Structure 1
Amino acid sequence: MFFQHIFESSLAHASYLIGCQAKGVAIVIDPKRDVDTYLEIAQKNNLKITHIAETHIHADYLSGSLELAALTGAKLYLSDEGGSYWQYAFDHIGLKHHDEINVGNLVFQVLHTPGHTPESLSFLLIDTPATDAPVMLFTGDFVFVGDIGRPDLLETAAGLIGTKEVGAHHMFASLKIFSRLPDYVQVWPAHGAGSACGKSLGAVPSTTVGYEKIRNWALQFGDNEGGFIQELLDGQPETPKYFAMMKKLNKINRPLLTEVPIYKKLDHQKFLTYYDSGVTIIDTRNKADFAKGFIPNSINIQNNKSFSNWAGWILDYEKPFLLIVEEKQLEDVTRKLMRIGLDQAIGFIDPQTLSSCNIPLKTQQIIDFEEMNHALDNSNIQILDVRNKSEFDEGHLPNATHLFVGTLTDNLHKIDQSKDLYLHCQSGDRATIAMSLLYRAGIKNVKNYSHAMKEWKEKNGKIVN
Structure 2
Amino acid sequence: MKIEQIYTGCLAHAAYYLESNGEAAIFDPLREVQPYIDRAAKDNAKIKYVFETHFHADFVSGHLDLKKKTGAQIVFGPTAKPGYEAYIAKDNEVFEVGDYKVKAIHTPGHTMESTTYLLIDEKGKEHGIITGDTLFIGDVGRPDLAQHVVEDLTEEKLAGHLYDSLRNRIMPLNDDLIVYPNHGAGSACGKMMSKETTDTLGHQKAVNYALRADMTREEFIEELLTGLTTPPGYFPQNVLMNIKGYESLDTVLERGEKPLNAESFEAVANDSGALVLDTRDASDFAKGFIPNSVNIGLEGSFAQWVGEMIPDVKQNILLVTYAGKEEEAITRLSRVGYDNTLGYLEGGFEQWKDSGKDYETIQRISAEQLEADFDQENSLLFDVRKKSEYDSEHVLGAVNVPLNEINQHLSTFPKDKEFIIYCGSGYRSMIASAILKQRGWQNFADVTEGFKGISETKVPRSEYVCPTTML
Give the TM-score, by structure 2 length.
0.89
The code of the aligned residue for 1:183 comes to D
C-alpha displacement of 1:258: 4.4
1:175 and 2:173 aligned: no
SS at match of 1:240: coil
SS at match of 1:327: coil
CA deviation string 1:144-168 (max 9, x = no partner): 122221122234x548477222222
Q: Equivalents in 2 of 1:260, 1:100: separation in Å?
A: 36
1:164 and 2:142 aligned: no
* Equivalent pair of 2:289/2:349 in contact (CA under 8 Å): no
Q: Equivalents in 1 of 2:78, 2:109: separation in Å?
A: 15
In the alignment, what sits opposite 2:360? 362
1:137 and 2:129 aligned: yes
Q: Equivalents in 2 of 1:231, 1:142: separation in Å?
A: 16
The code of the aligned residue for 1:312 comes to G
In the alignment, what sits opposite 2:190? 198
In the alignment, what sits opposite 1:41? 39
* Equivalent pair of 1:221/1:227 in contact (CA under 8 Å): no
**Which among 31, 35, 40 is matched to residue 29 of structure 2?**
31
- Identify which range, 186-195 or 215-224, moves more after superposition: 215-224
In the alignment, what sits opposite 1:324? 320
CA deviation string 1:424-459 (max 9, x = no partner): 212211110001011111222222123222233333
**Which among 111, 115, 124 is matched to residue 117 of structure 1?**
111
**Which among 417, 421, 424 is matched to residue 423 of structure 1?**
421
In the alignment, what sits opposite 2:468? none
**Which among 219, 223, 233 is matched to residue 227 of structure 1?**
219
Is there any run of 5+ residues in structure 1 with no aligned partner, and where? Answer: none
Q: Equivalents in 1 of 2:159, 2:390: separation in Å?
A: 25
In the alignment, what sits opposite 1:12? 12
- Identify which range, 157-166 or 49-58, moves more after superposition: 157-166
CA spacing shift, 1:451–1:305, aligned 2, 3 Å? closer
In the alignment, what sits opposite 1:458? 456
**Which among 178, 188, 211 is matched to residue 186 of structure 1?**
178
In the alignment, what sits opposite 2:240? 248
Q: Equivalents in 1 of 2:340, 2:274: separation in Å?
A: 11
C-alpha displacement of 1:375: 5.3
In the alignment, what sits opposite 2:349? 351
* Equivalent pair of 2:53/2:115 in contact (CA under 8 Å): yes
Q: Equivalents in 1 of 2:369, 2:220: separation in Å?
A: 44
C-alpha displacement of 1:358: 1.8
Give the TM-score, by structure 1 length.
0.90
In the alignment, what sits opposite 2:297? 302
In the alignment, what sits opposite 1:335? 331
* Equivalent pair of 2:367/2:448 in contact (CA under 8 Å): no
* Equivalent pair of 1:34/1:259 in contact (CA under 8 Å): no
* Equivalent pair of 2:110/2:141 in contact (CA under 8 Å): yes
CA spacing shift, 1:371–1:305, aligned 2, 3 Å? closer
C-alpha displacement of 1:64: 0.8
In the alignment, what sits opposite 2:3? 3
CA deviation string 1:385-437 (max 9, x = no partner): 22223323334334433322223223323333333232121221111000101
Q: Equivalents in 2 of 1:217, 1:119: separation in Å?
A: 24
SS at match of 1:70: helix
SS at match of 2:325: helix
C-alpha displacement of 1:207: 1.2
Q: Equivalents in 1 of 2:368, 2:204: separation in Å?
A: 45
SS at match of 1:447: strand
Q: Equivalents in 2 of 1:355, 1:331: separation in Å?
A: 23
- Identify which range, 168-177 or 53-62, moves more after superposition: 168-177
In the alignment, what sits opposite 2:60? 62
* Equivalent pair of 2:300/2:427 in contact (CA under 8 Å): no
Q: Equivalents in 2 of 1:329, 1:114: separation in Å?
A: 40
Note the aligned Cα RMSD (angstroms): 2.4
CA spacing shift, 1:364–1:48, aligned 2, 3 Å? same
* Equivalent pair of 1:54/1:78 in contact (CA under 8 Å): yes
Aligned residue-pair number: 455
The code of the aligned residue for 1:125 comes to L
In the alignment, what sits opposite 2:287? 292
Q: Equivalents in 2 of 1:275, 1:217: separation in Å?
A: 50
Q: Equivalents in 2 of 1:230, 1:434: separation in Å?
A: 34
Q: Equivalents in 2 of 1:290, 1:159: separation in Å?
A: 41
C-alpha displacement of 1:202: 2.3
Q: Equivalents in 2 of 1:265, 1:326: separation in Å?
A: 13
